[in-house]
Amino acid sequence: GENVEQHPSTLSVQEGDSAVIKCTYSDSASNYFPWYKQELGKRPQLIIDIRSNVGEKKDQRIAVTLNKTAKHFSLHITETQPEDSAVYFCAAADSNGGSQGNLIFGKGTKLSVKP
Partner 1 sequence: DGGITQSPKYLFRKEGQNVTLSCEQNLNHDAMYWYRQDPGQGLRLIYYSQIVNDFQKGDIAEGYSVSREKKESFPLTVTSAQKNPTAFYLCATGTGMNTIYFGEGSWLTVV
DSSP state string for 52-67: TT-SEEEETTEEEEEE
Q: CB of 38: closest distance to partner 1 in angstroms?
A: 9
CA proximity to 25, closest of 113, 108, 106: 106
The rounded Cα 58 to chain-centroid distance in angstroms is 13
CB 36 within 8 A of CB 44: yes
Confirm or reject binding of residue 54 to partner 1 (CB under 8 A).
no
72 or 105: CB nearest partner 1: 105
Residue from 46, 58, 61, 114 touching partner 1 (CB under 8 A): that is 46
CB 100 within 8 A of CB 3: no
Residue from 37, 44, 48, 73 touching partner 1 (CB under 8 A): that is 44
Q: With 0-12 CB in 10 A as exposed, 13-18 as middle and 19+ as buried, what is 96?
A: exposed
Q: Please, which of residues 67-86 interact with partner 1 by CB under 8 A?
A: none
Q: CB of 44: closest distance to partner 1 in angstroms?
A: 5
Count of residues that interact with partner 1, criterion CB under 8 A: 22
The residues that touch partner 1, with contacts defined as CB under 8 A, are 6, 9, 32, 34, 36, 42-46, 49, 89, 93, 95, 99, 101-103, 105-108
